[in-house]
Amino acid sequence: MAPLCLRSSQAELALTSSRFTQLTVVVLAFCALAVRSQVVLPAEVPTPYSFGYDSNDLDGHHGHEETGDGSGRVSGRYSLSLADGRTRTVTYVADEFGYRADVVTNEPGTESRSPADTTFTSSALPGPDAAVAAEGQVVAAPLRRA
């Protein structure tokens, strides 16, 4: 016959094992319920659209136009032309082949290159030349409306 303390620990072990089994069953039931109750939304069909805007103010000109067709292809163009002479125009397409953009700018610190399906065309002076050209120039702060 086993000592009393051994029988007591076996009973506690059996009780703990039983509680663990019950807890496992409850957790699995909740998981099954959560999976079963997921809402499946129908795939949305892209709706054709088109928009555009132009803004002229003391800081310069900003504009954007974009169209999307019924197949999910989006194309557009945005541009800015600042009072200090900096310009940037981005023409882009987003479709089943990804996002591709062509950037044309004269912003200092930019250079012509073509990384990752994007083409940068810059008419700005390259780094060190831009620094020398800008030396001694005074640039007015942008005007802000109160």
End-to-end Cα distance, the chain: 94
Position with higher pLDDT, 134 vs 125: 125
Q: Would you say 84 and 141 are in contact if contact means Cβ atoms under 8 Å apart?
A: no
Which residues face 87 on adjacent strands?
Answer: 81
Position with higher pLDDT, 43 vs 12: 43
Residues 6+ positions from 112 with CB-CB distance below 8 Å? 120, 121, 122
pLDDT tops 70 at residue 146: no
pLDDT of residue 73: 94
pLDDT of residue 37: 65
**pTM for the predicted model, two decimal places:** 0.57
Length of the chain: 146
pLDDT in tens, 77-107: 999 999 989 999 999 999 999 999 999 999 8
In the chain, where the domains are located: 49-134
